[in-house]
Amino acid sequence: MEKKIKVAVIGATGAVGQVFMWMLSDHPWFELAYLTASSARVGLKYGATTHWIIPVEMPLNVRNMEIKEFNFEAMKKAGVQIVFSALPAEVAREAEPQLRANGFYVFSNAAAMRYDDDVPILVPEANLEQLSLIEKQGYPNGGFVVTNANCVTTGLTMTLAPLRKFGIKDITVNTYQSVSGAGYPGLSSFDITDNCIPFIKGEEDKIEKEAKKILSINPEIYTYTVRVPVMVGHLEAVWLDFEKNVEVEDVINAWADFKRIPGLPSSPELPVAYGADPTFPQPKYAFWGSPKGMVVYTGRVRKKNNRIGYILLVNNIVKGAAGGSVLNAEAFVTKYGLR
């Protein structure tokens, strides 16, 4: 059997870290070799110290793994090549450049380095060519950082990539975002129970900046982001204005023709799946698909005054976070032949 590539998860106990642990526990190419959290947990067993919040079972083989200190030499000694980061942005801002300088290949969920010119925000189905920015960071002679987009932007760009050919002039996107998007413990139950909060700090700016960088287009983007009392899964209501005349069927067909990247284990057969039922999609389908949580679902497509509208659902902790990073690492391994 081919040898697996050893990987570390840093920030393994948080909402995104837990999805990494779940997805990497039996990955065909990657082997979990090292994990970290905040320093208070060093030496503890993952299963005993982690407050598991994601709606899939904690894999048996990760329960006894020990949380280690954040130490480059120890990580190298453990044979780690790839590091998956689920750190808060302020911690990542310091840690990720150091990991890169120590030769690690970092796939990060944090926003800290997303806007650096030589760091790609990779959504491989939409902008695989931007992966070559790692060469500007020094690869193959050194390490690099590849980020994935903010969770809302991931869902949005997945649905927009196959529509770029129609000339996207402007985008209106209003979101209904689940509480897991704020990490754990996240919001106070006093604030979110039986309530919606029409403000998520920094989110609207991130969507505008990241969508333009990923898709290499420059449309006007109008957005509001709202937190809603849902555990996992962000809905987005999107309206688009195009340069060309576009019909509802053109949009549905473009998504149907948008194929997976062949050979990547975490890429679903149909990455953007449309459903005609007028009540589709809903956050309760966030873990549908295969691999679970990696499909972006769309529905309610309609046309008014030459604008096309639709609703999308993205699993914010899987496709919009850890799963996106795992897919990015698979794309890197395939393109650069690490295996």
Which residue number, 251 or 320, has a Cβ lying nearer to ligand NAP? 320
Nearest alpha-carbon partner for 46 in 54, 37, 55: 37
The answer to the question of residue 147 lying near ligand NAP (CB under 6 A) is no
- Look at strands 272-274 and 296-304 and give their pairing: parallel
Q: Of these, 12, 126, 254, 295, which contacts ligand NAP (CB under 6 A)?
A: 12
Residues within window 33-52 making contact with ligand NAP, judged by CB under 6 A: 37-38, 41
CA dihedral angle for residue 312, residue 317, residue 319, residue 320, rounded to 10 degrees? 70
Q: Of these, 23, 33, 83, 87, which contacts ligand NAP (CB under 6 A)?
A: 87
Residue 305 token pair: 């005054």
151 is an active site residue: yes
The answer to the question of residue 230 lying near ligand NAP (CB under 6 A) is no
The answer to the question of residue 266 lying near ligand NAP (CB under 6 A) is no
234 is an active site residue: yes
Q: Of these, 56, 91, 197, 228, which contacts ligand NAP (CB under 6 A)?
A: 91
Per-residue contact flags (x/-) with ligand NAP for residues 94 to 133, judged by CB under 6 A: ---------------xxx----------------------
Residues 6 or more apart from 289 whose CB is under 8 A from it? Answer: 268, 273, 295
The answer to the question of residue 200 lying near ligand NAP (CB under 6 A) is no
The answer to the question of residue 11 lying near ligand NAP (CB under 6 A) is yes
Which residue number, 127 or 180, has a Cβ lying nearer to ligand NAP? 180
**What is the size of the binding site for ligand NAP (CB under 6 A)?**
27
The gap from C-alpha 247 to its chain's centroid, in whole angstroms, comes to 30
Per-residue burial over 129-163, b if 16 or more Cβ lie within 10 Å, else e, is ebbebbeebebeeebbbbbbbbbbbbbbbbbbbbb
| Distance, CA of 25 to CA of 62 (rounded, Å) | 7
Residue 268 token pair: 């679903």
Residues forming the site for ligand NAP (CB under 6 A): 11-17, 37-38, 41, 86-89, 91, 109-111, 151, 180-181, 183-184, 316-317, 320-321
List residues with catalytic annotation.
Answer: 151, 234
